[in-house]
Amino acid sequence: MISAGRWLLAVFFVVAGLNHFRDPAFYLSMMPPPLPFPEALNALSGACEVAGGVGVLVPRTRRAAGWGLIALLIAVFPANIYAALQGQLAGLAAPAWALWARLPFQALFLAWVWAVTLRKEKHP
Protein backbone atom coordinates (compact mmCIF):
# COMPACT_ATOMS: atom_id res chain seq x y z
CA MET A 1 0.00 0.00 0.00
CA ILE A 2 2.87 2.36 0.78
CA SER A 3 4.27 1.83 -2.70
CA ALA A 4 1.01 2.89 -4.37
CA GLY A 5 0.76 5.88 -2.07
CA ARG A 6 4.35 6.80 -2.86
CA TRP A 7 3.71 6.67 -6.61
CA LEU A 8 0.53 8.73 -6.28
CA LEU A 9 2.39 11.28 -4.15
CA ALA A 10 5.15 11.49 -6.74
CA VAL A 11 2.69 12.03 -9.59
CA PHE A 12 0.76 14.60 -7.55
CA PHE A 13 3.86 16.71 -6.82
CA VAL A 14 5.40 16.37 -10.28
CA VAL A 15 2.16 17.44 -11.98
CA ALA A 16 1.60 20.27 -9.48
CA GLY A 17 5.20 21.41 -9.90
CA LEU A 18 5.01 21.41 -13.69
CA ASN A 19 1.79 23.38 -13.46
CA HIS A 20 3.79 26.26 -11.91
CA PHE A 21 5.41 26.65 -15.33
CA ARG A 22 2.30 25.93 -17.40
CA ASP A 23 0.04 28.38 -15.53
CA PRO A 24 2.18 30.75 -13.47
CA ALA A 25 -0.64 33.33 -13.17
CA PHE A 26 -2.58 30.92 -10.95
CA TYR A 27 0.29 30.62 -8.48
CA LEU A 28 1.33 34.26 -8.72
CA SER A 29 -2.19 35.26 -7.67
CA MET A 30 -1.60 33.40 -4.39
CA MET A 31 1.68 35.17 -3.69
CA PRO A 32 1.47 37.65 -0.83
CA PRO A 33 2.60 41.07 -2.15
CA PRO A 34 5.42 41.60 0.39
CA LEU A 35 7.37 38.64 -1.00
CA PRO A 36 10.16 39.71 -3.36
CA PHE A 37 10.72 38.21 -6.82
CA PRO A 38 7.36 36.41 -7.15
CA GLU A 39 8.19 34.90 -10.54
CA ALA A 40 11.41 33.41 -9.21
CA LEU A 41 9.67 32.10 -6.09
CA ASN A 42 6.99 30.50 -8.26
CA ALA A 43 9.61 28.81 -10.43
CA LEU A 44 11.59 27.71 -7.38
CA SER A 45 8.57 26.19 -5.65
CA GLY A 46 7.55 24.44 -8.87
CA ALA A 47 11.03 23.03 -9.35
CA CYS A 48 11.11 21.89 -5.71
CA GLU A 49 7.77 20.11 -6.14
CA VAL A 50 9.05 18.28 -9.22
CA ALA A 51 12.34 17.37 -7.52
CA GLY A 52 10.55 16.24 -4.38
CA GLY A 53 8.08 14.17 -6.36
CA VAL A 54 10.87 12.40 -8.21
CA GLY A 55 12.93 12.14 -5.03
CA VAL A 56 10.29 10.14 -3.16
CA LEU A 57 10.66 7.37 -5.74
CA VAL A 58 14.42 7.00 -5.26
CA PRO A 59 15.28 5.07 -2.08
CA ARG A 60 18.53 7.01 -1.49
CA THR A 61 16.76 10.39 -1.68
CA ARG A 62 13.37 9.45 -0.21
CA ARG A 63 13.93 10.79 3.31
CA ALA A 64 15.50 14.03 2.08
CA ALA A 65 12.67 14.47 -0.42
CA GLY A 66 10.15 13.86 2.34
CA TRP A 67 11.69 16.51 4.60
CA GLY A 68 11.98 18.87 1.64
CA LEU A 69 8.33 18.45 0.69
CA ILE A 70 7.26 18.94 4.31
CA ALA A 71 9.31 22.15 4.46
CA LEU A 72 7.82 23.28 1.15
CA LEU A 73 4.24 22.61 2.29
CA ILE A 74 4.88 24.63 5.44
CA ALA A 75 6.58 27.43 3.49
CA VAL A 76 3.73 27.86 1.02
CA PHE A 77 0.95 27.67 3.61
CA PRO A 78 0.91 31.46 4.07
CA ALA A 79 0.22 31.79 0.34
CA ASN A 80 -2.78 29.50 0.75
CA ILE A 81 -4.03 31.64 3.62
CA TYR A 82 -3.49 34.77 1.53
CA ALA A 83 -5.53 33.23 -1.30
CA ALA A 84 -8.35 32.42 1.10
CA LEU A 85 -8.29 35.97 2.45
CA GLN A 86 -8.47 37.32 -1.12
CA GLY A 87 -11.44 35.06 -1.86
CA GLN A 88 -10.30 34.25 -5.39
CA LEU A 89 -7.53 32.77 -7.49
CA ALA A 90 -6.65 33.62 -11.07
CA GLY A 91 -8.31 31.20 -13.45
CA LEU A 92 -10.25 29.35 -10.74
CA ALA A 93 -14.00 29.81 -10.64
CA ALA A 94 -14.55 28.57 -7.10
CA PRO A 95 -16.55 30.09 -4.29
CA ALA A 96 -14.57 31.88 -1.59
CA TRP A 97 -15.52 29.26 1.00
CA ALA A 98 -13.73 26.61 -1.10
CA LEU A 99 -10.44 28.46 -0.65
CA TRP A 100 -10.93 28.22 3.11
CA ALA A 101 -12.05 24.59 2.89
CA ARG A 102 -8.85 23.61 1.10
CA LEU A 103 -6.59 24.81 3.93
CA PRO A 104 -7.01 21.67 6.08
CA PHE A 105 -5.87 19.59 3.12
CA GLN A 106 -2.36 20.91 3.74
CA ALA A 107 -2.32 18.83 6.94
CA LEU A 108 -3.42 15.79 4.96
CA PHE A 109 -0.64 16.38 2.43
CA LEU A 110 1.87 16.68 5.28
CA ALA A 111 0.64 13.40 6.75
CA TRP A 112 0.76 11.73 3.33
CA VAL A 113 4.34 12.84 2.73
CA TRP A 114 5.36 11.66 6.19
CA ALA A 115 3.59 8.31 5.80
CA VAL A 116 5.27 7.36 2.54
CA THR A 117 8.71 8.89 3.02
CA LEU A 118 9.58 9.12 6.72
CA ARG A 119 7.51 6.63 8.68
CA LYS A 120 9.34 3.48 9.63
CA GLU A 121 7.88 0.53 7.75
CA LYS A 122 6.89 -2.43 9.88
CA HIS A 123 8.25 -5.74 8.67
CA PRO A 124 6.35 -8.93 9.56
| Annotated domain spans of the chain | 2-117
pLDDT digits (tens, 9 = 90+) for 66-81: 999 999 999 999 999 9
pLDDT digits (tens, 9 = 90+) for 2-44: 689 999 999 999 999 999 999 999 899 889 999 999 999 999 9
Task: Please say whether the dihedral angle defined by the alpha carbons of residues 67, 82, 9 and 47, taken in this order, is positive or negative.
Answer: negative
Per-residue pLDDT, averaged over 34-55, amounts to 97
CA distance 57 to 24: 26
Q: What is the pLDDT of residue 124?
A: 56
For the full predicted model, state whether its pTM sits above 0.85: yes
Per-residue pLDDT, averaged over 84-99, amounts to 82
Which of 43, 53, 38, 42 lies closest to 6 in space, CA to CA? 53
Q: What is the pLDDT of residue 92?
A: 75
